Amino acid sequence: MLFNSFVFAVFLPLVFAGYWALQRGNLKLQNAFLLIASYVFYGWWDVRFLSLIIISSLVDYQVGRHMVDSEDARKRKLLLFISLAVNLGFLGVFKYAGFFVDSFADLLETLGMQANRFALQIVLPVGISFYTFQTLSYTIDIYRRKITATHDPLAFFAFVSFFPQLVAGPIERARDLLPQFTKARTFDENMAVDGVRQMLWGLFKKVVIADNVASSVDLVFTGYADMPATHLAVGIFLFAIQIYCDFSGYSDIAIGCARLFGFQLSRNFAFPYFSRDIAEFWRRWHISLSTWFRDYVYIPLGGSRAGRWGRMRNIIITFTVSGFWHGANWTFIVWGLLNGLYYIPLMLADKQKDHTGTVAEGRLWPGFGNLAQIGVTFALTLIAWVFFRADSLPHAFDYLSRLATGPWSLSVPFKEQILLCCFLLGVEWIQRDRQHGLELPAMPRPLRWAAYYSLLIALFWLGNTQHEPFIYFQF
């Protein structure tokens, strides 16, 4: 079920009304209702894959209970291994089996051997990368004794399958979200109203911005060989805005939707294109995934405690694995590796934490230094996005080669879409110290309502009516 679909527009009010109509304080009934609603939401896409979520939830619930009750180190390791094997096994089979088969066949052919290729017709379950990491954090944190196991299966199953963030995050930690399923929830009007505002802003980013520029991005990346470099540069810029609006739009809708039901989800984006270096960018882009890899990959490898070469190795491994998480293609691996290479000079100079506050805080315009830093960081990010968007490595390298060698044209394409993107960036620059673009506490009420109605009109007038899936559904 898509957030930007008519079905969801009917589904959400019905679930909201039914949820709050339940007897106040009847926590188990509310959790059961949310669990059923979440399974309906996910099963609307393909009911067969509900079995994966149920098995994963059941395994990790039982692993957590037995692990927390045991002091036997070997037994605890075995239980953790079971959780890792089941969850990563599902991920490996459904997401990466075809990639490994094709890569092995390519290797054999490179060595001059005959490779009998066969196609694996495996459908990738929507959201498997997200809920797998979410439930793994639960068993790993129990193993590390950072949290204790829950003995409420209803709360745990609802935590794993919570529909607002089930298929594309934010990837919630058990220590943050699970306790919210175990305590009474009451309706908070202010919280719900702000949730609706954030959902509206997310829908605007997805339907009006991302979906409108998608066709132009496809046109450029498909026909780039016959286009001047100007078109290629604009194509990369539009893709950068498309993927940001598509993914952060989903996160805004998910966070806002959760607030309607009394839940606080983690912030997933913090205006990343205003970052002054790559380290700041990764503190602001897909925050829940970046911190997941920091806590469960980078730190266990030794983190910053290792020597210079050890830290470089840990950074490269973490970013490369992060790239592979995004998809079973060498383009994603190179994208991750490239971001790791961007990060290393900052780390070696011990400047990776230089920019932790809001850029140009308290000022309308950034200084020349900040502007130059933002420009360089954005340019590096655009180069990396070419690998993320390209169909293959030769496609990406050829695209960048043609961009570098020209020819350039004075004619700028897709002017209307560029103006839309600049409008978005302008609004988010003004709101860069807020949680989202429609958080307008100081604005007079008439102006606030004018902003809301303007976005609603834009949704119906400019919005793409094709109900395009979110890009991150494929990950």
Report pLDDT digits (tens) over 196-233: 999 999 999 999 999 999 999 999 999 999 999 999 99
Domain final residue pick, 156, 186, 216? 186
pLDDT band for position 110 (50/70/90)?
low
**Residue 75's closest CA among 142, 134, 132, 136?**
142
Same domain, 23 and 132: yes
Name the domain count of the chain: 2
pLDDT of residue 113: 64
Domain final residue pick, 128, 160, 186? 186
Span of 276-280, 333-337, 356-360 with lowest mean pLDDT: 356-360
412-461 tens-digit pLDDT: 999 999 999 999 999 999 999 999 999 988 788 889 899 999 999 998 88
459-475 tens-digit pLDDT: 888 877 676 777 777 66
Whole-structure pTM value: 0.92
226-275 tens-digit pLDDT: 999 999 999 999 999 999 999 999 999 999 999 999 999 999 999 999 99
Look up tokens 């990343």; give the residue: 272
278 touches 379 (CB < 8 A): no
pLDDT of residue 169: 76
Same domain, 23 and 139: yes
Same domain, 159 and 104: yes
- Mean pLDDT across 168-190: 92
Cα 26 from Cα 33, distance rounded (Å):
11
Domain final residue pick, 186, 218, 237? 186
Look up tokens 């959902």; give the residue: 199
Same domain, 261 and 238: yes
Cα 74 from Cα 299, distance rounded (Å):
22
In angstroms, how far is CA 225 from the centroid of its own chain?
31
- Mean pLDDT across 357-379: 93
For residue 70, give both structure tokens: 């045991």
42-51 tens-digit pLDDT: 999 888 889 9
Has residue 338 been placed in a domain? no
Same domain, 120 and 52: yes
Same domain, 456 and 375: yes
Q: What is the mean pLDDT of the chain?
A: 90
DSSP state of 227: S
pLDDT of residue 104: 56
Cα 104 from Cα 332, distance rounded (Å):
18
pLDDT of residue 196: 95
pLDDT of residue 23: 65
Same domain, 30 and 178: yes
H or E element in which residue 101 lies = helix 97-110
- Mean pLDDT across 141-153: 94
Has residue 333 been placed in a domain? no
φ/ψ region of 61 (left if φ > 0, alpha if ψ in -120 to 50, else beta) reads: alpha
CA distances from 443 to 213, 392, 426, 431, 438 (A): 30, 47, 17, 12, 10
DSSP state of 296: I
283-320 tens-digit pLDDT: 999 999 999 999 999 999 998 888 889 999 999 999 99
Has residue 343 been placed in a domain? no
Q: Is the dihedral of CA 47, 48, 53, 57 positive or negative?
A: positive
Same domain, 203 and 169: no
Same domain, 170 and 245: no
Same domain, 156 and 207: no
- What is the three-class DSSP state of 391? coil
Residues with catalytic roles: 326
Has residue 1 been placed in a domain? no
232: buried, middle or exposed (CB in 10 Å: 19+, 13-18, 0-12)?
buried
Has residue 323 been placed in a domain? no
383-417 tens-digit pLDDT: 999 999 999 999 999 999 999 988 898 889 999 99
User: What's the domain range around 116?
Assistant: 6-186
Same domain, 262 and 375: yes
pLDDT band for position 29 (50/70/90)?
very high
Has residue 317 been placed in a domain? no
Whether the pLDDT of residue 24 is over 80: the answer is no
pLDDT of residue 410: 86
374 touches 359 (CB < 8 A): yes
**Residue 132's closest CA among 93, 183, 179?**
93
- Residue type present at position 151: H
- What is the three-class DSSP state of 250? helix
Has residue 285 been placed in a domain? no
Has residue 315 been placed in a domain? no
pLDDT of residue 165: 92
Same domain, 238 and 158: no
pLDDT of residue 174: 94
Whether the pLDDT of residue 111 is over 70: the answer is no
Bond prior to 170 in cis (omega within 30° of 0):
yes
**Residue 18's closest CA among 3, 42, 36?**
36
